[in-house]
Amino acid sequence: MNIAEDARWIGQPLDLGSDLKAEVANTRHLVRLLSDHANANRASAAAAYACDLLDKTLAAKVTGPVACAKGCHHCCHTYVSATIPEILRLAAVIRENNLPIAGITDAAGRAAAIGQDGRFLNRVSCPLLSDGACTAYGGRPLACRTMLSRSLQACLDYFPLTGAGALMYAGGARETRGRVEIIFLAALSLAQLPRQHIELTQGLAIALTEDDVEERWLAGENLFAGVAADTGEGEGDALKTWVPILVNAVRATL
């Protein structure tokens, strides 16, 4: 692998241009992290890197006003999905901060009974929400990190009941999320790890059952088999097109 060649792009925001060198370098870096068998928490480590890459790129690329602020949590009561490494990383942050987990088990049970399609009308608040703020903010998954709205009114129209209208993302937020998602999913594919997104609360409830869940999942135990995959998965043309392109570009260099 081209470690020296990749160094200039590692830990830096993506430029979002048409040149994919940064994407290739970051995918290779993530494959290295995911292939480090000396690290029993390598899935969490890779998810943490992807989240950091997203945060740095959002900070560099989002333009225009952002309406989001602490205490505003309209997007925390609906369906959220994440990859299993993101969920394992969030579980680690919950453990490190001794956050209560009883509410997570309860929310997971209610979310399982409702299913994805019913989640606009039947709200299950994220169990990590407390006093209007995310108690595991530093460990929240990619989807939550990208919820940058430029219109509070659009969120008020979209989230509470029907999902009417459309979210109004701050400029550059969705494109940034797309680039990082493509990189992370390509790396998971190359590391031969599952890359599906699953419902967050049910995944968390499983991730928090035992301390060795990450190690066992990395060893091939299908611990999350009972949680349905996001039905929106695979619909995005960009993901369908670009993940295989990036996989092929990087595979030839590993």
Q: Least distance to ligand SF4 from the beta carbon of 49, Å?
A: 18
Q: Which residue, among 60, 33, 37, has the nearest Cα to 45 in the 3D structure?
A: 33
Nearer to ligand SF4, 34 or 136 (CB): 136
CA distance 21 to 225: 35
Reduce the DSSP state of residue 191 to 3 states and report it: coil
CA distance 129 to 126: 6
Q: Least distance to ligand SF4 from the beta carbon of 179, Å?
A: 20
Q: Which residue, among 35, 30, 45, has the nearest Cα to 92 in the 3D structure?
A: 45
Q: Which two tokens stand for residue 47?
A: 């998810």
Contact residues toward ligand SF4 (CB under 6 A) are: 76, 80, 126, 128-129, 134, 136, 140, 144
Q: Least distance to ligand SF4 from the beta carbon of 20, Å?
A: 29
Nearer to ligand SF4, 30 or 76 (CB): 76
Q: Least distance to ligand SF4 from the beta carbon of 128, Å?
A: 4
**The total number of residues written for the chain in this structure:** 254
Nearer to ligand SF4, 25 or 127 (CB): 127
Nearer to ligand SF4, 24 or 144 (CB): 144
Reduce the DSSP state of residue 71 to 3 states and report it: coil
Nearer to ligand SF4, 129 or 228 (CB): 129
Q: Least distance to ligand SF4 from the beta carbon of 170, Å?
A: 16
CA distance 54 to 45: 14
Q: Where would I find the beta strands (DSSP E) of 102-175?
A: 129-130, 133-134
Q: Which two tokens stand for residue 10?
A: 């590692």
